[in-house]
Amino acid sequence: MMYKIFTPLLFVVVLQSSCQRVPVTGRKQLNLVPNSLIQSMAFAEYDSIINVTHVLPASNAQTQMVRNVGIRIQHAVENYMNQNGLAKQIRDFKWEYNLIDDKTINAWCMPGGKVVVYTGLLPITQNETALAVVMGHEIAHAIARHGNERMSEGLLIQMGGLVLEEALKEKKQETQVLFLSLYMVGSNLALALPNSRMQESEADKLGLIFMSMAGYDPSEAIPFWQRMASINKNNTPEFLSTHPSDETRIKRLSALIPEIKEKYYVQK
């Protein structure tokens, strides 16, 4: 009995106390999970990945390039956060940049600033500026706390599911299963999917801004994404994918670049 009354109240309290704004874009977002908790989980996960993969040594020329790009973007982000009174948000970051010897075309940045690039990406980036496109994008996910937002959504979906389950208790089992599976599809498509695509475009935009602040020409994003497009043979239909199609992305970035370049690009 208490449950039904308590849940909406809890929602209101939680929602009011957990709205934060994404740096630079100013978008309001929901962060229900303490960032300190997310970071400690991320650091543990990071250590376990580093322990079982082939991390190239600091003396490797390509590792040095990855670290150079990372540190330049990190300093640009830190400057921006300091100047805008947001330093606290990244105070507990433990930045680290590693290159892993693996032919996977990938890179990521965990909450808290742990960045990894796979050697498989380098034939496509081909140069330091294009690497900054990718690393800027990945670092943007961490600065915008997208991981926390995704987890918060997951929690809300689960809590919503519990309320629905409660409401369906009196119905027959088959009806329940049907309703719940529809609910899951509905919550995936209506909530999780558009938001994740929204996070992708936000990371694209922030990434261009951060690389520009670090002295990398954001125009390089276009030839880079064109190279990505040419190797993306098994194109997932866009409507079901969390990533925008390369064509959509290139179009959107082309529209953004002139303004970002004028506003943020500092040639170094």
Binding-site ranges for Zn ion (CB under 5 A): 200, 203
**Rounded least distance, CB 225 to Zn ion, Å:** 13
Strands of the 96-100 sheet, one edge to the other: 96-100, 114-118, 107-110
**Rounded least distance, CB 16 to Zn ion, Å:** 29
CA distance 112 to 168: 41
CB closer to Zn ion, 110 vs 203: 203
**Rounded least distance, CB 199 to Zn ion, Å:** 7
CB closer to Zn ion, 76 vs 203: 203
CB closer to Zn ion, 203 vs 208: 203
CA distance 127 to 68: 13
Instruction: Note whether 206 and 24 are within 8 A (CB).
Output: yes
Instruction: Note whether 192 and 157 are within 8 A (CB).
Output: yes
- Spell out a b/e string for 137-168, using b for 16 or more CB atoms within 10 Å of the CB, else e: bbbbbbbbbbbbbbbbbeebbeebeeeeeeeb
**Rounded least distance, CB 200 to Zn ion, Å:** 5
**Rounded least distance, CB 154 to Zn ion, Å:** 17
CB closer to Zn ion, 56 vs 209: 209
In the complex, which residue's CB is closest to Zn ion? 203
Beta bridge partners of 96: 114
CB closer to Zn ion, 66 vs 142: 142
